[in-house]
Amino acid sequence: MLNALKFNARIWFFLGFLACGGLLGMGAYFQLVQRLEPCPLCISQRIAIFFTGIVFLIAALHNPKSIGVKRYAITGTITALLGASISTRHVWLQHLPADKVPECGPELSYMLEYFPLFDTLKFMLSGTGDCAKVDWTLLGFSMPVWTLLAFLILATLSFLQIWNTDKE
């Protein structure tokens, strides 16, 4: 029974890529259709989803042997866990008391134009008061909570590919 459910690593990596594409599509939907402006941490999470998806796509296209699958699995796990750490910070900011929330900063487009790149990246990863605002929930959980769950699932999917190889 379990062998019927076992796909090769290439298929799992491709499914992970499709999941990342779906997550990015949902982000675009919320931004463009629902008019929810993404905060700096939201943008950082989208970038992490993008890079995780790229790792999965390259792994699926490359279709490596056992050692390559393990390398892609570790790389995919690392990128997904980096995204999960950004999501964790975002969830933490949303649960801070109102008097502990950091001040709102300038718009990201302004920072990209007038600030050094390193300062802009630091700003994007640390979050602002905008990041503490909850604009949307599903089943009582905010978007960063769902994104954190998605990153943890992607990391698990990737990590499990270490054992989903033919022995050479």
pLDDT in tens, 18-71: 999 999 999 999 989 988 888 888 888 999 999 999 999 999 999 888 888 899
| pLDDT given at position 7 | 72
Mean of all residue pLDDT scores within the chain: 82
Give which of 154, 164, 165 is closest to 49, Cα–Cα: 154
Architecture of domain 8-163: Up-down Bundle (1.20)
What pLDDT score was predicted for residue 89?
85
Q: What predicted TM-score, i.e. pTM, was given to this entire model?
A: 0.80
pLDDT at 97: 75
> 152: buried, middle or exposed (CB in 10 Å: 19+, 13-18, 0-12)?
middle
pLDDT confidence band for 82 (50 / 70 / 90): very high
| pLDDT reported for residue 80 | 96
118-135 pLDDT, tens digit each: 777 776 666 665 666 778
pLDDT tier at 9, thresholds 50, 70, 90 = confident
pLDDT for res 1: 40
Is the pLDDT at 168 greater than 50, yes or no?
no
Mean pLDDT of 102-130: 67
pLDDT above 90: residue 17 = yes
